[in-house]
Structure formats: structure tokens, C-alpha cells
Amino acid sequence: MTETPAQYLHHHGLRKTLGRELVLTTFLDQSRALSHGELNTLLGDQLNRASLYRVLQSFEESGIVHRVPDDEVSVKYALCSGACSSEQHHDNHVHFKCNHCGETQCLPEVKLPKVKTPDSLKVESAELLLRGYCRHCAA
């Protein structure tokens, strides 16, 4: 990302606000998928809980983050690779979640192969979630 967070927001049609800059910077700092709860803990009282939900909504709608399905209590979000807009997301990439530390990361370099599906289904997108042990937690 060559732009500043403020410019990045502006290019996605969002006003530059303290909350949005905080959330965007946190995603860049952490470089992993984060749930609302994790962000809320990281941000402390710098941003209201409800406002954080609204920041995440606006980010998803404008193509700044995408949702990462999770098998736990709450959904996670991860920064989009860059090509996403409010028109469309292009995040058909693979995610990896560690069974030990619970961290989820995007694997944009892993190609998602096409699978053959029944003709009756009109498939529009695919989400592959790998689970296992990350570099730090491998037994």
C-alpha cells in the first residue's frame, strides 16, 4: 500500500475519521484476520464498540476488508488485497487458521483450484479455509 491510510480511505469513498484510521492502521500492524472482539480489545477506549461495528461495515461495503468465515463465535475480517471496491470483492483466496493460537491469515499466494459442481447450482464465489498449525505453533 503506497498511500497513507487517509488517502486509502478517501479512494474508497470514505471520509477520513479517527476511528477508521485507527482500525485500518491496526489491520496493517497486525497483518492477520481480526474479529470485532480482538479489534475492540486492541483499541481499548479509543473507539466505541458500536462505532467499531459500523467502521467494519463501511470497510466491508467499500472493499477495504472482507469477511473470513469462521467456525467460532464471531466472524473475522481481513484487509482486501487491493482490487476490491464497493462494486465487487475479489477475495477468492485461501485462509489458514491455526488450531493452537487461533490466528487466521490470508494466503493470497495460494491458488484456489476450480472444482466441478452440480449443474443445478450457480456458484459465484468460493472460500477455502485451511486449518492446522502455524509456523509458531507447529508441534
- Tell me which residues touch Mn ion (CB under 5 A): 78, 91, 106
Among 16, 67, 89, 90, binds a copy of itself (CB under 8 A): 67
Determine the 3-state secondary structure of 11 from DSSP: helix
Smallest Cα–Cα separation from 62: which of 40, 39, 35, 89?
89
- CB nearer to DNA: pick between 20 and 93: 20
State yes or no: residue 31 binds a copy of itself (CB under 8 A). Answer: no
Asked if 14 interacts with DNA (CB under 7 A), we say yes
From the list a copy of itself, Zn ion, DNA, none, pick the one residue 18 interacts with, judged by a Cβ distance below 5 to 8 Å according to partner type.
DNA
Q: Tell me if 90 sits within 8 A of 83, measured CB to CB.
A: yes
Determine if 21 is a binding residue for a copy of itself (CB under 8 A).
no
Q: Residue 62: phi, psi to the nearest 5?
A: -100, 5
Contact 59, 26 (CB under 8 A): no
Q: Check: CB of residue 28 under 8 Å from CB of residue 79.
A: yes
Q: Is 50 in the site for DNA (CB under 7 A)?
A: yes
How far from chain centre, in Å, is Cα 72? 16
**Residue 125 interacts with a copy of itself (CB under 8 A)?**
yes
Q: Is 7 in the site for DNA (CB under 7 A)?
A: no
Residues that bind a copy of itself (CB under 8 A): 67-72, 75, 94, 96, 99, 107, 109-113, 115-118, 120-135, 138-139
